[in-house]
Amino acid sequence: MQIVYPRKIPLIAFDVEAYERNLKKVTEIGIAIYDPVASEGSIFPIIKQTHLVIKEHQKLVNGRFCPDNKKSFMGGVSYLVSLKQSKNIITSVLQEYVNNRNAAFVGHHIEGDIKWFRSIGIEVSNNAPIVDSNKLYALSRKRGGTLRGVLRLLGIPHGYLHNAANDAYYTLLATMALCDPVIRTQKGLDVFVDNVKVPEGEARLQKFSDVAQMVVPVDENTIIDSLIEP
């Protein structure tokens, strides 16, 4: 919270998607950047988003174990680049924001993304602050720490997860929410809850589907109360 909530330094969220049958073959890279200078005076956080599709692995398609949403970036434009070009892009971003402006890394299980960056020769500072949304969630919840589970707990609408750029964007939003004391109080995130384990079949359905849960309310007052109560 001390890193994120004051909004004094940039936050850079990365997400790396890999081919499900060979995790060394990265198919997409997502980048989302919150710059407090660009957002100064704005009620809405201004976030830059970039979606990189790796040309060498463009034809590798997921779907058996993980959804393939590389064509579903909700920001509208995806860039088809070589692995070398993606390395140059990431290196330039790190130089500007991390080395020059002391930005923090943000991610969901971000240690895997950083490990991959280093494996292709991208230098990642050991001194840069790291904020992991999965670890923040795990401080008060035992289960359900997928990105989708975190977003649903926080009430953040989302779709087409497992697209690298979408995931980076939503991870950044989730991290900002998890570090907001008002939201933490509203969602009861400062009280540990041993939440119920989701059955395997339901967990798989949630992983592959954006379909909302359909609920029949006792009466309309339930909905009214949820909208007007503080």
Q: Which of 167, 13, 23 is nearest to 93 (CA)?
A: 13
- Sequence length of the chain is 230
Domain ranges of the chain: 11-228
Q: Which helix (H) or strand (E) holds 122?
A: none
Q: Is the pTM of this model over 0.75?
A: yes
Q: What is the mean pLDDT of the chain?
A: 91
pLDDT tens digits for 96-136?
A: 999 999 999 999 999 989 999 998 889 888 899 999 999 99
Quote the crossing angle between the two packed helices 147-154 and 200-208, to the nearest 10°. 80
Place of tokens 């979606």: 51
What's the pLDDT score for residue 62? Answer: 96
Q: Does domain 11-228 have CATH number 3.30.420.10?
A: yes
The answer, yes or no, to whether residue 196 has pLDDT greater than 70, is: no
The answer, yes or no, to whether residue 207 has pLDDT greater than 70, is: no
SS3 content of the chain, % helix, strand, coil (to 5): 35, 20, 45
- Here the tokens at position 21 are 């049958």
- Here the tokens at position 228 are 């007007």
Give SS3 for 37.
Answer: coil
d(CA 190, CA 17): 31
